Structure 1
Amino acid sequence: MVLGCSPCCSRTGYQQIGNTGKWPRFGVRHLQCILVFFGLAVAYSLRVNLSVAIVAMTDRNASNPDFPEFEWNESVKSYLLSSFFWGYVVTQVPGGYLSAIYGAKYMLFFGVLVCSCLALLTPFCAIAGGWKTVVVLRAIQGLCQGVIFPSTHTFLSKWAPTEERGRLVGYCYSGSQFGTVVMLSVSGYIASSSLGWPSIFYVPGCVGILWSGVWYFYCSSTPAQHPSITPAERRYIESSNQTRRPSDVGREMTPRPHTPWRRILTSGPFLVLVLAHCANNWGFWTLLTEIPTFMKSVLGMDIKNNGPLSALPYFAMILLTCVFIWLSDAMKQRGTVIPLGFSRKFFNTLGMWLPMLALIGLGYITESESNVRLAISLLTTAVATNSATYLGFHVNHIDLSPNFAGTLMGITNCAANFMSILAPLIVGLIVWDETNPAQWRIVFFFTAFVYFMGNLLFMVFGRTGVQEWNTPTTRTPTATSTEEGEAFDGDRAPLIEA
């Protein structure tokens, strides 16, 4: 494999991959990412299955009447639907930390496998133990899935070359929308079939167990551990990692340094990343949980029980993810080299300010047949364009610290999921009359303001360079200006940002 080094590479001792390198365009790294895509699809199908199954479980008219029906009131339903997140926020930080120690492969394997087995037990628990048993089971499923996103970030920090990082992260995380679309689209048909509502848990549970077996035998936590990767592809991935020195490329990873908790939690770029993640979750979950109520109460249209229509925004999100990835690649292929920081902030702006504009538009929607169609279009736009953040703040954890990317994701996702719990409560304080458009306007404008501030802070204070605390046991060289060789997210990856 032929490597090219920039002048700054030779000065700092860091190896840079060049355009003349011989590595496969489609290789083991892509197969690993395909497995991650389907793993996240399974995880999200296991997460959202209860939200559609609970309709069939409490209404014989909505499913096969040959199966038991439960008389659960709205309070019980809220406990059932929220219990998953009680456990989910607990294992975010431990998940990232443990995946870095024991390998992301095993954390993802056990997270999906145990969650899938518990899904198979859900119908039995509902019939034999009632709703309280299901609440406990869902909380345990949340504990299992809390490790998945941090472990995925740890995994991608090892497998995604810098030049392909945004693309691979975008494709992998679009699996979560794929799982949501499939589950929302087919659950109603499954519940009405001879299989009944229990199959809404059995089908994704069995698929999850099958995926776990494939993942265990065909996945490795790092390129160095994969038995069938070519030396050229392994060298390309490891050389592209900006934290490794030339003498380390091709060798096994050195022992992982101790996590610099204090320096992470006092890092300005990381704290801005936390705020951006929280703002994004506030907006996303406000849309996810409150828009169905707005559509029903203000516009007189109940879309919550319409599976295909409910899945439309997430299907559009998958398509737009591909469009944004194509746009990112097209920008890189132009004659002008695109700075990494500009790329991240540009896509983050699309992913947070376009939904902001859609929310402002929703604030002026009133009841009429044409406005219903407009509201659905704005809702789809708000959810779908949010996918641009996969190439924005969502990948910034790996930019700041490849060594601790999973830990960073665990911290930000934990904080962000508290926002997803808090947002519906705040909406409940503002909207005491669900049929009042003026109260909903306040909700939409406030959410738009949160989107605006989250992205503004990321644009002004966000950074993309590897932070010094990424390698706390060694001194990290810095590049202070473009004249000294500041690198870009084009053919070259950034080495460090001042």
Structure 2
Amino acid sequence: MENLLENKDTIRSSKKNSSIVSLLRSCCFIPQRYTFAIVALIGLCNAFTMRTTLNIAITQMVKQRRLGRGKHLDPDACPSDMVFNTTTFITNPHAIFNWEEKTQGLLLSGFYYGYFCTQILGGFLALKFGSKWVLGIGLLSTAIFTFLTPIITRTGGSTWLFILRIVEGMGEGPTMPALAHMMARWIPPHERSILSAIIFGGGQFGNIFGPIISGILLDKARDWAYVFYFFGAFGLFWFTLWSLLCYSEPNEHPFISKKELQYLNQILPRAKESNKRDPVPWKAIIRSPPAWAMLACNVGHDWGLYTIISDLPKYTHDVLKFNIATAGILSGLPFMAMTLCATIFGIICDFGIRKKWHSVKTARKIYTSIAGTGPAIFIILASYSGCNRNAAMVCFIISMGLMGAYYSGMKVNVLEVAPNYAGTLTSFINTVSTLAGIITPYLTGLLTPDSTLIQWRTAFWVCFAMLVGSNIIYCIWMKGEQVWWDDVRKHGYPPGWKHGSLIRDEETKSSQDVELIEKI
């Protein structure tokens, strides 16, 4: 029994003592937590581009689209850059499908159905088998299917493409849970804000460069397949970097410096090896106010984020009446602001914590509030800017810039609340909040059937309520330190706990056996 319990420790010890590993660690001078952050940034960038490639490419896949006079007149309508007294047919020799708008909408939503399904599974696999291969193989599968999209779509049409998008979403589902689990093993507390901003900024880089690169590849009526080939190949390239340079934990890394390894082992809270054999403490998680507070906050954030991602291009085109080329460029500016501000907020937050101007808990409240109430206010100001297009776009850019503070607030808070179950808790949060990505575009469509300024204002007030309400819930029930159920052996059970043991029963039996052996 005791040999079984010590088996993993023996293997790990022999690996540590390898002369090759010792040589590599003595020669390495690059902090590997920074290498991990950069490669993770590139991975998230690629993940977001593969997620949204179809949004751009589908405009060149359908045989024709029509620009004509609208059926509804808006008394508050803005002057237009476009001419509506003619009907224009835009053809493309590579457009071979006759999909209706309803079919196109279903295809664009297919990814999120798959993404929703594998969040919990991703957290479980990361906890049991390590984050490196769970995350890596997940994105590798998405890259392969992205690369094969033109072949599969031309063979099976919309049905096969819808199934393919679901499978791609399933591949990306474990990304955030596995990444959170890995970040808890690699990022020291006083560097969490800045490194988290860098890593999660990869998603915003994907939102910026995905449409730009896709536009270049699709220019002059080029084959839409090039978009899928490019981002699929880029995913394969990233998987090579990930396989060679990143590892689930510092102790498994063959060429981390001895100084950095010792530093990370000392500063990062870790449960005992026996905790890995425990079941996931779902009974405690679902009864944990901090977990639900983070869930509510993430739902509000995603509601605001998906409103901008999904609907800002439509708002700038249909309401503010920018031409489609200008609308595409302007839609990327808020994400540039978000990426820049996320880094700035991260630096300021970590500096304040190091200087002890405020506690970690206070920092998470401050920056989460900036990321919640700030965007809510400026989104409403944008809607009341009316046809002052410059003022409206400035408000949208500021709103997304302030949302960058989220990565120094709630997004990193999960690493402090549950460092040992960071992947599991993230999967729990993301599974529910992914519904915001499915509901938000649909609800916005219901609220804006004629796409008028007044109808859009109502949709933005709903967004305001979600952002502010979720922020209030978070500030009331959040925690800034490790909760008891993340390491029961260290913290024990709270008074009045009546829901059974969270520790595997076999441990009690094995400890009794060891005591008997020692007595003999």
TM-score higher than 0.5 here?
yes
CA change 1:87–1:232 in 2 (3 A) is same
Report the more deviating stretch, 283-292 or 110-119.
Answer: 283-292
* Equivalent residue, structure 1, for 2:333: 312
* Equivalent residue, structure 1, for 2:383: 363
What are the Cα deviations for residues 319-345 of structure 1, in whole angstroms up to 9, with x where unaligned? 1112112222332454x4420011111
1:213 is paired with a residue whose SS is: helix
1:242 aligns with 2:258: no
* Equivalent residue runs for 1:37-116 within 5 Å: 37-58=41-62, 65-116=92-143
* Equivalent residue runs for 1:6-405 within 5 Å: 27-58=31-62, 65-192=92-219, 196-243=223-270, 255-303=276-324, 306-334=327-355, 336-367=356-387, 371-405=388-422
**Structure with the greater alpha carbon radius of gyration:** 2
Q: Is this contact kept in 1: 2:60–2:95, CA < 8 A?
A: no
CA change 1:240–1:96 in 2 (3 A) is same
CA distance in 2, matches of 1:71, 1:224: 55
Q: Is this contact kept in 2: 1:63–1:197, CA < 8 A?
A: no
Provide the identity percentage: 27
CA distance in 2, matches of 1:298, 1:104: 44
Superposition deviation, residue 464 in structure 1: 1.2
* Equivalent residue, structure 1, for 2:480: 464
Superposition deviation, residue 312 in structure 1: 1.6
1:224 is paired with a residue whose SS is: helix
Consecutive unaligned residues in structure 1, runs of 5 or more: 1-23, 479-498
- The residue identity in structure 1 corresponding to 2:286 is L
* Equivalent residue, structure 1, for 2:460: 444
CA distance in 2, matches of 1:363, 1:194: 35
Aligned-residue RMSD, C-alpha? 2.3
What are the Cα deviations for residues 166-202 of structure 1, in whole angstroms up to 9, with x where unaligned? 2211111101111221111121111126862111000
CA distance in 1, matches of 2:478, 2:366: 12
Superposition deviation, residue 30 in structure 1: 0.7
CA distance in 2, matches of 1:76, 1:310: 24
CA distance in 1, matches of 2:177, 2:146: 22
Task: State the number of aligned residues.
Answer: 444
Superposition deviation, residue 293 in structure 1: 2.6
- TM-score under structure 2 length normalisation: 0.81
CA change 1:150–1:464 in 2 (3 A) is same
Superposition deviation, residue 232 in structure 1: 1.7
- TM-score under structure 1 length normalisation: 0.84
CA distance in 2, matches of 1:412, 1:236: 30
Q: Is this contact kept in 1: 2:131–2:182, CA < 8 A?
A: yes
CA distance in 2, matches of 1:215, 1:331: 32
- The residue identity in structure 2 corresponding to 1:355 is P
Report the more deviating stretch, 53-62 or 323-332.
Answer: 53-62
Superposition deviation, residue 126 in structure 1: 1.9
Report the more deviating stretch, 312-321 or 88-97.
Answer: 312-321
Q: Is this contact kept in 1: 2:193–2:350, CA < 8 A?
A: no
Superposition deviation, residue 241 in structure 1: 1.5
CA distance in 2, matches of 1:392, 1:76: 38
CA distance in 1, matches of 2:485, 2:204: 34
Q: Is this contact kept in 2: 1:344–1:393, CA < 8 A?
A: yes
What are the Cα deviations for residues 268-320 of structure 1, in whole angstroms up to 9, with x where unaligned? 11111111111111111122222333333322225588443322211221111
CA distance in 2, matches of 1:128, 1:121: 11
Consecutive unaligned residues in structure 2, runs of 5 or more: 1-27, 66-88, 495-520
Q: Is this contact kept in 2: 1:243–1:402, CA < 8 A?
A: yes
- The residue identity in structure 1 corresponding to 2:313 is P
* Equivalent residue runs for 1:475-494 within 5 Å: 475-476=491-492
Match of 2:424 among 382, 407, 421: 407
CA change 1:428–1:300 in 2 (3 A) is same
Q: Is this contact kept in 2: 1:113–1:208, CA < 8 A?
A: yes
CA distance in 2, matches of 1:224, 1:472: 23
Q: Is this contact kept in 2: 1:80–1:135, CA < 8 A?
A: yes
